[in-house]
Amino acid sequence: MRKLAAISSLLVVLWGCGGTGTLSGGSASPSLRNYLGTEGPGDVWSWQLTGTTFTATNQTQGLHYSGTESVLSTGFLKLTVSSTDDPNVAAGQSAYALELPGTALVLKPAGADTKPPIVAASLGGNPAGPVVSFNFVEVPSATFNPATDQAFGHVTFNVSGNTYTGTSKRFAINGTALADGPSTFVGNGGMMTDTGNNPATGAMTPSGVCVLDYGPSNGGVIGVIQPAANVDLADLGTRSFRGFLINQGKTQCVAVTPNGDGTLHGQGYANPTGVETGTSDNGSGVTVTFTGQPNPGEVTVSITTTGGVENLVAAINRVNGKYMLFCFGVPQSGNGQPYNVVLVEN
């Protein structure tokens, strides 16, 4: 599925092992959760969270981290570094995370705001066949071209044993159909390896999250299992979310709440530590409107800001009872750098 492009330049991707649970916030999960993944430009990471402590290793660079895990009043997890051999991270710095224990993890690493966030999915088993479908969005590289490059799409795999064979339907941000992308993956406990000419590693998990990484500078995608019927957009507009905005080299914690009219209000926390005190940035926030659904779970979104309206596309479904939204957009003005929003229902 080489035509599915673009994670490694912007995003850490982890896959975890463990049981299911509710979104962490209020109390940290007490059980051990193990995660494995990659970070652009293609570093391999391992993480372990216990409910009170964490350890992490950048296996590619040989860097190590450990510290404490706690829950903030804003509902985010705080992972405070107590020891590290990373020269760019100091003891006392913190990462901020959201977690569906053993199912999904989204994390802003400690250090500079320019570091990419984590999107995680649980391991333990391959998605059940005989057919499985995913919607996905791009997390673009610095060379992304909105006129010609993939922004979103969907893929259906035929499953035979541990082999997943399918063809991805790919689209530019304006909805123009691009060339199909045939692919074959071999699964091992949820971990997926592309057997074609473009090596890829990733996860397609029974919990419903899809993550693929094509290595340094080549990118990947994130997505969720395609629902059998359309997502209820009216219901979606009544929900509250936490998550991350990845835009113009910055990662920002955000909160999204219903306006009461079917739209949502999004507001960012002030970097670097506003998420700890509930302090918003100086902006007035944005209004989020769900405008259409060309395919089940493939949703078009408009965001109204003080500068105008921007259009996004999102892959949306419930994962263990909670909505997850993986969004991709290209600004209508300015420098035109594409961006992502990752949201998990409270």
Mean pLDDT split into 10-residue runs, the chain, 346 residues:
34 47 51 69 72 87 94 94 94 88 75 68 78 90 83 95 94 92 87 75 79 69 92 97 81 93 94 90 89 96 88 92 91 71 90
pLDDT for the residue 116: 67
pLDDT for the residue 239: 97
Compute CA 57 distance to the chain's CA centroid, rounded to the nearest angstrom: 20
Cβ atoms of 64 and 77 closer than 8 Å: no
Query: How many other C-beta atoms are found inside a 10 Å radius of the C-beta of residue 68?
Result: 15
pLDDT for the residue 18: 44
pLDDT for the residue 249: 64
pLDDT for the residue 7: 34
pLDDT for the residue 27: 47
pLDDT for the residue 153: 95
Structural domain 12-122, CATH architecture: Beta Barrel (2.40)
pLDDT for the residue 10: 35
Cβ atoms of 206 and 128 closer than 8 Å: yes
Domain 233-345 listed as CATH 3.10.580.10 = no
As annotated, the residues of the chain forming the CATH 2.40.128.20 domain(s) are 233-345
| Closest to 256 (Cα-Cα) out of 160, 179, 315, 342 | 342
| The residue to which tokens 């629902």 are assigned | 227
Phi-psi region of 11 (alpha: psi -120 to 50; beta: other; left: phi over 0): beta
Q: What is the pTM of this model?
A: 0.86
Pick the CATH number of 131-225 from 1.10.10, 2.160.20, 2.40.128, 2.70.98: 2.40.128
| HEC readout, the chain | CCCCCCCCCCCEEEEEECCCCCCCCCCCCCCCEEEEEEECCCEEEEEEECCCEEEEEECCCCEEEEEEEEECCCCCEEEEEEEECCCCCCCCCEEEEEEECCCEEEEECCCCCCCCCEEEEECCCCCCCCEEEEEEEECCCCCCCCCCCCCEEEEEEEEECCEEEEEEEEECCCCCECCCEEEEEEEECCEEEECCCCCCEEEECCCCEEEEECCCCCCEEEEEECCCCCCCHHHHCCCCEEEEEEECCEEEEEEEEECCCCCEEEEEECCCCHHHHCCECCCCCEEEEEEEEEECCEEEEEEEECCEEEEEEEEEEEECCEEEEEEEECCCCCCCCCEEEEEEEC
User: What letters, b where the CB count within 10 A reaches 16 and e where it falls short, cover 110-149?
Assistant: bbeeebbbbbbbbbeebbeeeebbbbbbbbbbeebeeeeb
